Structure formats: structure tokens, C-alpha cells
Amino acid sequence: MALEHRKPVKGAAGFWILALLFLMLFVASAAASPLYPVYQVKFHFSAETLTAIFAVYVLVLLVTLLFFGSVSDYLGRLPMIITALVFSVAGCVAFLAAHGAGELYLARSLQGVATGLASGPTGAALLDLQPAGSQRAPLVTSTFSNLGLAVGALVTSVLVQYAPAPTHLIWWALLVVSVAGIPAVLAMPEPGVRHPGALASVRPRVAVPRQARGAFAGAVPCLVATWSLGGLYLSLGPSLAAETTDSRNLVWGGLVIFLLCGTGAATALIFRAIGPPTAMLAGCVLLLAGVAVTFSAIATTTAAAFGVGAAVSGAGFGLAFQGAFRMIAALAAADQRAGLVTAIFAVGYLAFSVPALIAGVAATKFGLQATALVYSASVAVLVVAAAGILLVRRR
């Protein structure tokens, strides 16, 4: 059917279409994690290269966010989302054609551009489309990011372990979803308001409105603590799961990521009525408990404790990130939303990638277990600092 004869997608349907595409981006982000050990054996590279392939995705994503995160405030939300879907298609194709580490770097870079282009505009479009007075968009944004990571890791690990074509099937599925998303977005009315000055907005800047800067600065330690722990699980989590379970079954690697991110999504949804500062503080307490259990599990190579630590940490992740996102996003005007959402995710993604990259280098030199123990202890210090800052600000 020609596009001009297609019935336009209305506001509520458009909200959930964009929410599902947002979910899909994070499914694709986590889909590579259970495959890292497979690629590592197949293409003969080290833990350092493994985390570098993980990190290049996040670093490219961050650069894309910094340059293009505010452009949708000028050009509109939908052109940026459609462009992101095109890059997502290209990333899936690159994975399907991969024959070595070089192609994996390219594929993850393309995925990084896709998520970087889509994160700010999609988050802002959801804010534009939510009913007046609703907190649906921040809830969906924080919940679906975790849910996408959980589903992507678990589904991929099951497919890799039990389905045919282990390094191809998941990318074919994501390719189909990305292609189908393009006409769905084209059929939607533009939710944002276009402004002149798009070219001037393409520069590396973090657009935090003046009225939100205090809240944003206070939330930074919380964002760094949560996302850096996520980086550990999504880069080296499957390798740690194999070591603690003494099993080559790849589902264990996907399961620990699912426990971390899935409980994060569920906790954020169940306790969505809690005020943002309370959610942040409760999240920090749970995160500290989860990191302590994880540290003990890694030190003693206890599989059950490692799973419990992932689940408790995930609950803390979900509450803390949701509280921080809601507290900050509520302070932005409509034409400032994309830039502010970009700033939130820029901090998160930087914390997601750089510590994991350092951990990969350290694991090659000092071993996986010792590196993971130091990493966990460092996250615990950050969580304590985040809770302390929050308590001081509340007083």
C-alpha cells in the first residue's frame, strides 16, 4: 500500500511503537554479549580484544550522542529515529558477514551509531507523546532499557546454545525488526516541534538546562555506579558465569545478564510510585548488597551466589536509574528534552564502557577473577559515595 494512502499512526499507538523500537535497540545491544565467548574461540582473540569490541560500541554511541543528541530538537524526532534504524540494519548485516575481529568492530560501531542516534530522540518523543501529567515515558525509558538488555542476552544465549546457525539467527531476527520499523515510523505524525539551528547543534556538547544542573550533578555518582556494574556483566559476565559454574553451557552467561537487567526492569515497574529521591536511595542500598554478594561469589566461585548477586544488584540498578532519570527529566522544558536525555545517557554509557575496557586489559594481565574482585569493590565505593551525596542533598 502506498504510504500516502496508509492510515496515519495515532498518538497512543505511536507511543508504543516507539517504545518497542526503543526496546529493540537494547535487545540488539545485549545480543552480542552471549556471543563474545563464541567469537573469542572462533576468531582467536583475547579478553582485552573482547572488552575492546564491547567498548567500541559504547564509545561510538557516546560520540554520536554528543554530536547528534540534540539535533531532533531542531529537525524533529522521526528523521533521526529512521536514520538510526538504517544504521541498525547495517549493523545486523555486518554481523552476518563477520569473519574476524575487524568485522565485529565494524558491526558494533554501526550498532553504536544506531543507538546513539535513537536514544535521545526516542526518549524525547515518548515524553512528547505521553498523556499530560503522566510519568509513563520516564517509566518506559528506564524499564525498557533494562528489559531489552535482559531479553537480548537470554534469548541470544538460548539460540546460540540450542538453535542452528548460532552466530547468525539472532541477527536475522533483529534485521527483520529493524526493516519493519522504518515504514512504521514513516506512518507516524511528527511528535516534536522543529526549530531552526540544526547545523549549529551538531557539536560535542552536553545540553543540561540550567534549572536541572544541580539535580543532574547530584545524580552522576548514582548513574556511574549503576552503569559501570552493567558494563562488567555485559562484557565479562558470560566469562565469569562460565568460571563460577564450571560449565560451557552459554545459557548461564545469558542468565546472569537476564537476572541483572530483568530484575532491574521488574523492580522499576513494581515500585514506580516511589518518589525519585527515595527510589535512588533504596536502589543504592540494594546495589551495595548485591555487589557484596557478587564479590563473595566471585571470590569463592559459587554459582548460586553469583546469580543472587546479579538479581539483587539488578533490583538496585532498576530503582536507582529510574529515580535518577525521573528526577532529572522532570526539570526540562519540551524543547530541552532531547539534549537532557542525551546527557543522562552520555554519563551512563561512558561509565558502561571505560571501566569495562580497563577491566579487559587487566584481565589479560592479572586474570579474570582478580580483575572482577577489584571491579566489584570499586563499584561498592561509588555506591557509598552516591548514597552519601544523596543524603546530604536531601538534608
C-alpha cell at 260: 541483572
With beta carbons less than 8 A apart as the criterion, state whether 157 and 254 touch: yes
What whole-number distance in Å separates Cα of residue 224 and Cα of residue 87? 27
- pLDDT, mean of each 10-residue run, the chain (395 residues): 45 84 90 88 87 88 81 81 94 94 95 89 83 74 82 91 89 95 89 65 70 82 87 86 88 91 87 86 92 93 92 91 82 73 80 86 88 91 86 76
pTM above 0.75, yes or no: yes
94 within 8 A of 110, measured Cβ to Cβ? yes
DSSP 252-307: HHHHHHHHHHHHHHHHHHHTTTS-HHHHHHHHHHHHHHHHHHHHHHHHHT-HHHHH
pLDDT at 213 (0 to 100)? 82
Q: Write the secondary structure of 2-53 as one string of H (helix), E (strand) and C (coil).
A: CHHHCCCCCHHHHHHHHHHHHHHHHHHHHHCHHHHHHHHHHHCCCHHHHHHH
Contact assessment for residue 355 and residue 226, using Cβ atoms and an 8 Å cutoff: no
What gap in Å lies between CA 387 and CA 281, rounded to an integer? 6
Residue 294 and residue 256 in contact, taking contact as beta carbons nearer than 8 Å: no
DSSP 8-state secondary structure symbol assigned to residue 61: H
- Predicted local distance difference test score (pLDDT) of residue 196: 64
HSE toward the beta carbon, residue 197, CA cutoff 13 A: 8
> Are 260 and 268 a contacting pair, CB within 8 Å?
no
**Predicted pLDDT of residue 75:** 79
**Quick one: 110 exposed, middle or buried, by C-beta within 10 A (0-12, 13-18, 19+)?**
buried
What pLDDT score does 130 carry? 79
- For residues 357 and 231, give the distance between their C-alpha atoms in angstroms, rounded to a whole number: 9
| Domains within the chain, CATH numbers bracketed | 8-188+209-394 (1.20.1250.20)
User: Residue 248 to residues 34, 151, 174, 219: CA-CA distances in angstroms?
Assistant: 12, 21, 26, 39
Angstrom distance (rounded) from CA 191 to CA 126: 9
Query: For 204, which DSSP code?
Result: S
Nearest Cα to 28, choosing from 99, 118, 100?
118
86 CB burial (10 A radius; 0-12, 13-18, 19+): middle
Taking every pair of C-alpha atoms in the chain, what is the biggest distance, in angstroms? 63
